[in-house]
Structure 1
Amino acid sequence: MREAIKLARGQLADALGVRPSMVGDWEAGADPSGEVRERYACLLTAALATMPFLDSAAVGNAAVAERIQDGNRLLRP
């Protein structure tokens, strides 16, 4: 997902206030938690809102598609 929205690992880490290695851990399958998870969900949702063509098929990764859905669920009341 990060690459699909043209963000370097360091850029995403800076935006979320974490180390780039933490972003790497997430990409390897670890789950973000707490406040960072909420910020990450907001960032992904905002990215998707500007790129409506980007869906699970375009991403081509079921794990990423699941994280997108998780992020959307976090933002719904």
Structure 2
Amino acid sequence: MDLESVIKGSPWTFNNHLLILRHLGEREDPLKVPLILVTFWVQIHEVPPGFFTESLARQIRGFLRNFLEFDESNLG
């Protein structure tokens, strides 16, 4: 239960560095696990009212390498 909450509660940091955790399979070699990707939310602050549109969200998306989705309910 604790392991699952730690994995689901990520991303974590240690000394201001991103800490990537992964549950290893039974026979998985830890030296061969590529710890190169983590999913996290990006929140944009102080956008003037009326300017946060789907178009702006798509422009911001262009700066992120692997963009998954944006919350359309918060536009405007």
When the two structures are superposed, what TM-score results if normalisation uses the length of structure 1? 0.29
Q: Report which of the two structures shows the higher radius of gyration computed on alpha carbons.
A: 2
- Higher strand proportion, which one? 2
- Higher helix proportion, which one? 1
